[in-house]
Structure 1
Amino acid sequence: MMMNRRMFTGALVAGAAASLISTRAIAATPAPVKARNVVLLHGLFADGSCWSDVIARLQAAGLNATSVQNPLTTLPDAVAAAQRVLSRQDGPTVLVGHSFAGMIVTEAGVHPNVSALVYVAARAPDADEDYTALAKTYPTPPASAGIVFDGDEGRLTEAAFLRDFAGDLPEAKAKVLYAVQEPFQKALLTGRTTQAAWRSKPSWYAVSTEDRTINPDLERFMAKRMGAKTIEVQASHLSLISHPDEITGLILEAAGQRS
């Protein structure tokens, strides 16, 4: 039976639409695995207590939260510390990293207990990528000029901490955080990830639009490259402290607790 031109055109359109729907279905991010465990990793100039406001909200939502005290010595040391905590979890676990800890998430996130990854204004390198070289393709953020070293031990000056790291926090609170910042070793900055967990695990990313520690456009690039579900928070580098509701909401989504 012969098709007229209108019928033939309609069939082509219908076929193209079906193909597009099929492609979108394949490309869609799978529904997150329901998880009740969250492991949180801190970055430079901080310690595990920086997650306190988020932890309280996660616990109120019925989740088991653990903040790792990262040894800021070498990347392998930090990854090993995260892996020990991940191994103690009793099922699917969301692994969350802030700032430098994105390096740890990217490496340790292949652990079988990890069901999803969340990056909060964090580094997200590819396997064996030179993150420093990548960062140099964007304007240098102001905080970089505030890093000082005592031998091999690095930290932020108080002025840079208050202005460029915690710029949207009340000064009194930022000064308390400055007082407990954990120094890091120069060797930590030379480490490279050997794998990229975001290539095999569903990922979420919170960009800090007012970030003066990591360039926000670099954050956007890394989030887009990994295909992460992305939100933008009008915050300093410390969005986990200045905007804990938004960051907690993102983690709960990655844990399958909300859509």
Structure 2
Amino acid sequence: MTAITTHAIDAPGAVLTYDVRSGKDADKTALVMVGSPMGAAGFTTLAGYFTDRTVVTYDPRQSERSKLTSDTDPTPETHADDIHRVIKAAVGSGPVDVLASSGGAVNMLAFVAAHPNVVRTLVAHEPPLISALPDQEAAFAAIHDVQDTYERDGLGPAMAKFLALIMHSGEVPADWPDRPTPDPAQFGLPTEDDGSREDPMLGRGHIIHTTGYEPDYDAIKAAPTRVVLAYGIESEGLITQRSAVAVADALGIAATRFPSNHGGFLGGEYGQTGNPEAFAAKLREVLDG
């Protein structure tokens, strides 16, 4: 088993925790795996398929082991700065390859625009960029309804609305916010409000900042980084798949199909299992391409 070393570094407003798995082949480009709000634990299975490379994972500020030291709401640009600090501390100036999932893919698009010479290949898997969608007005209304529900009623009802939204296939109907709140119990969610408003995804406006971020497409296209927008074949028609395709279109490239779904790399982490072996094989094919 590959040894894991854990480190912590200071960043403005946060203390960031990251892990390094040393690879067997020192000549291979290091692979950084980035999620948001998901932390390093979500990549445990996937990292096991890349023992030839040094693999770096980290917990975004406010998630899992990383802690906030200020009340500032983080944005994709904030996370991009954090990731830059982690990469420099873990493996130096680069270049590195990156697999970025969900909100992590949004943050890495901000990273490439700000730090164009660090990443060799970025695989941005299903970034939930509503700002890129043709139905963004209705989709934003739905996301703001999720946020408002969280602030008013707590985690259970808000997460139930969120899950219903991301499971919806096709464009978001204009009347989505007016629809009844799904029963949180049907998703195994709490039905009582515990008063907390520090959920890593719904707290501090994370979901609004992430979905509403507008990438600097010109800067990304000008960067030497090879950018690959990816989505799971089981995500066809869902908001994250449509976002991946829309971002790819904006960059003038074709999106790449990966096995499984939004969490296709998961091997039981957080109680979810995709198809990590097939996902890893596709990722290796893309990185070697």
Fold in common (TM above 0.5): yes
Q: Check if 1:37 corresponds to 2:42.
A: no
2:200 to 142, 163, 182: 182
- How far apart, CA to CA, are the structure 1 residues paired with 2:156 and 2:106? 18
Inter-partner Cα distance in structure 2 for 1:156 and 1:51: 28
Query: In the alignment, what sits opposite 2:76?
Result: 75
Q: 1:208/1:157 Cα in 2 relative to 1: closer, same or farther (>3 Å)?
A: farther
Match of 2:280 among 244, 248, 253: 248
Q: The residue matched to 2:231 in structure 1 has which SS?
A: strand
Identity across the alignment (%): 12
Instruction: Please list, as runs of the form range in 1=range in 2, the aligned pairs for 1:110-121 lying within 5 A after superposition.
Output: 110-121=115-126
CA–CA separation in structure 1 for the residues paired with 2:277 and 2:233: 16
The alpha-carbon deviation at position 229 of structure 1 amounts to 6.1
What is the TM-score normalised by the length of structure 2? 0.55
User: Which residue does 2:18 correspond to in 1?
Assistant: none
Q: TM-score, normalised by structure 1?
A: 0.61
| Alignment length (residue pairs) | 203
Q: Note if 1:93 corresponds to 2:96.
A: yes
**Matched letter for residue 186 of structure 1:** G
Once the two structures are TM-superposed, the CA of residue 155 in structure 1 deviates from its matched residue by 8.7
Counterparts in 2 of 1:59-208, with a 5 A limit? Answer: 59=51, 62-71=52-61, 73-88=74-89, 89-90=91-92, 91-109=94-112, 110-123=115-128, 131-137=129-135, 140=139, 144=143, 148-150=149-151, 157=158, 159=160, 182-183=200-201, 184-186=203-205, 188-189=209-210, 191-194=213-216, 196-200=219-223, 201-208=225-232
Does structure 1 retain, via aligned residues, the 8 Å contact 2:258–2:279?
A: no
In 2, the alpha carbon distance for the partners of 1:116 and 1:230 equals 14
Q: 1:95 to 1:155 in 2, by over 3 A?
A: farther
Q: Secondary structure, in 3 states, of the residue corresponding to 1:149?
A: helix
- CA 192–217 in structure 1, closer or farther in 2 if over 3 Å, else same: closer
CA distance in 1, matches of 2:257, 2:106: 20
* Runs of 4+ with deviation above 6 angstroms: 153-156, 161-166
Cα separation, partners in 2 of 1:191 and 1:159, compared to 1, 3 Å: closer
**Distance of 1:246 and 1:182 partners within structure 2:** 29
User: Displacement, 1:38?
Assistant: 1.0
SS of the aligned residue for 1:182 comes to: coil
Contact kept in structure 1, 2:125 and 2:244, CA below 8 Å:
no
Contact 2:34 2:57 in 1 (8 A): yes
- Is the CA contact 1:74–1:185 (under 8 Å) kept in the aligned structure 2? no
1:51 aligns with 2:13: no
Structure 1 residue runs without a partner (length 5+): 1-33, 124-130, 167-173, 176-180
Alpha-carbon contact 2:166-2:239 (below 8 Å) kept: no
1:240 is paired with a residue whose SS is coil
* Structure 2 CA distance for aligned equivalents of residues 161 and 48 of structure 1: 23
Structure 2 counterpart of 1:68, one-letter code: Y
* CA positional deviation for 1:215: 4.3
Q: 1:255 to 1:79 in 2, by over 3 A?
A: same
1:243 Cα deviation from its structure 2 partner: 2.2
> Judging changes above 3 Å, is the alpha-carbon distance between structure 1 residues 249 and 101 closer, same or farther for their aligned structure 2 residues?
same
- The runs of 5 or more residues in structure 2 that have no matched partner are 1-26, 63-73, 168-186, 189-198, 267-273
SS class of match (2:265): helix
- Secondary structure of the structure 1 residue equivalent to 2:36: coil
State whether residues 231 and 258 of structure 2, in contact with CA within 8 Å, keep that contact through their aligned partners in structure 1: yes
Deviation of 1:219 (Å) = 2.2
> Could you tell me which amino acid in structure 2 is paired with residue 77 of structure 1?
T
Query: Does 2:240 correspond to 1:221?
Result: no
- Aligned-residue offset at 1:154: 7.8
* 8 Å Cα contact 1:99-1:121 kept in structure 2: yes
Higher relative contact order (CA 8 A, sep 6+): 1
Match of 1:231 in 2: 257
**Bigger radius of gyration, 1 or 2?**
1
User: Separation in 1 of the partners of 2:75 and 2:155?
Assistant: 13
The answer to whether the 8 A contact 1:68-1:81 is kept is no
